[in-house]
């Protein structure tokens, strides 16, 4: 009986330590944010026209700049108050990301990144922001 309870204590301790370790590791490693395939393959219903890019720019200034910064570097005033980086939209990795994937992330959000489906309810407006974001270039 004594041996059995010792065993139980040992197993409980091992389980506890493993889950604690897992929690520490997962909290510190930002996980890759992958959009569902259904969105990745989506094509924008709006053209990357001058007017649509300008409309996307206005919306970006209103809703996104505070965190992502005027030039997309992730250095907006609010960024410093967040415990996760906002990303760099001028990076080659972001510029190569499928439009549909960017659209999905704006629509659904994740963690500190807000979901905009209820704030910017017109899908076309969110697609226009995507067009504007694709104009960010590394300096």
Q: Which residues bind ligand HEC (CB under 6 A)?
A: 30, 33, 63-64, 66-68, 78, 82, 84, 86-87, 94, 97, 102, 105-106, 110-114, 116, 129
Nearer to ligand HEC, 2 or 96 (CB): 96
- Nearest distance from C-beta of residue 33 to ligand HEC, angstroms: 5
Please enumerate in sequence order all residues whose Cβ is within 8 A of that of 80, keeping only pairs 6 or more positions apart, or say none. none
Which of the 8 DSSP states describes residue 62? H
Nearer to ligand HEC, 18 or 115 (CB): 115
What span, in angstroms and rounded, lies between the C-alpha atoms of 84 and 81?
9
What span, in angstroms and rounded, lies between the C-alpha atoms of 132 and 62?
13
Q: In sequence order, what are the beta bridge partners of 110?
A: 113
Nearer to ligand HEC, 42 or 82 (CB): 82
- Nearest distance from C-beta of residue 84 to ligand HEC, angstroms: 5
Dihedral-angle region of residue 35 (phi above 0 means left; psi in -120 to 50 means alpha; beta otherwise): beta
- Nearest distance from C-beta of residue 87 to ligand HEC, angstroms: 4
């Amino acid at each position: 009986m004594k041996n059995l309870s010792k065993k139980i204590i040992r197993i409980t301790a091992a389980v506890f330590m493993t889950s604690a370790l897992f929690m520490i590791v997962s909290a510190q490693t930002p996980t890759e944010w992958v959009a569902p395939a259904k969105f990745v393959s989506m094509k924008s219903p709006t053209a990357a026209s001058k007017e649509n890019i300008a409309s996307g720019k206005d919306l970006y200034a209103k809703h996104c700049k505070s965190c992502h910064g005027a030039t997309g570097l992730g250095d907006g005033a609010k960024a410093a108050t967040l415990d996760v980086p906002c990303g760099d939209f001028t990076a080659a990795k972001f510029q190569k990301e499928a439009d549909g994937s960017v659209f999905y992330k704006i629509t659904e959000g994740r963690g500190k990144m807000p979901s905009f489906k209820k704030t910017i309810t017109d899908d076309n407006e969110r697609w226009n922001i995507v067009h504007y974001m694709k104009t960010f270039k590394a300096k």
